[in-house]
Amino acid sequence: MDEQVHPDADEHDLFADERRQLEEGATHDLLDEPVLPLLGLSATTLAAVFVGGAFGTLARYLLAAHHPVGSGGFPWVTLLVNLSGSFAIGLVLPLTEHMADRAPVVRPLLVVGFLGGWTTYSTLAVDAALLAKHGDVATCLVYLAATVAGGLALVVAGHALGRRMEDA
């Protein structure tokens, strides 16, 4: 399913400026300025997001189903999922930065699809609300702090490792 290149592709190409910058040797850090197309996604890109999301969500579901947490228990599965997803997103972003021309569906498949389906803000919110509801306010706050601070630290660590791997 190769994309058709239109003669006026630059006028409809949401990544044209970024591609020109990369060709000119400019460095573009996706943590500083994420590139998110608003419109004009191809069917291939949408399919990649769909398939990646389905597999990421299924993987998270299977992990949670095989390692259930009892009522009022610490939601370690969700914490593990969100922290591992944060590290993986940080790692994958620089590794896929220069692949857009050769394999344009890799980033939508892995980052938006799989890792977007793997990580879960809604379950984080529900788990935190249930901990607080059951009177485990201290555990709730530790869980939220560990998820947010840990997620930020791991996305930065993953990104640094991805940059080093890319330069190697």
| Identity of the residue numbered 30 | L
Identify the CA nearest to 113 among candidates 59, 57, 42.
57
> For residue 26, what are the contacts with CB-CB under 8 A and spacing of at least 6?
none
> For residue 101, what are the contacts with CB-CB under 8 A and spacing of at least 6?
19
Task: Identify which has the larger pLDDT, 71 or 22.
Answer: 71
Identify the CA nearest to 164 among candidates 32, 102, 156.
156
Query: Which tens digit of pLDDT belongs to each residue from 38-83?
Result: 556 778 888 999 999 999 999 999 999 999 988 778 999 999 999 9
Is residue 38 domain-resident? no
**Which range marks the domain in which residue 126 is found?**
44-167
Is residue 28 domain-resident? no
Is residue 6 domain-resident? no
Determine the distance from the C-alpha atom of residue 115 to the mean position of all C-alpha atoms in its chain, rounded to a whole number. 4
Total domains, the chain: 1
Is residue 48 domain-resident? yes
Mean pLDDT of the chain: 85
What is the reported pTM? 0.76
Is residue 3 domain-resident? no
Task: Identify which has the larger pLDDT, 161 or 101.
Answer: 161
> Phi first, then psi: what are they for 83, rounded to 5°?
-70, -45
Is residue 88 domain-resident? yes
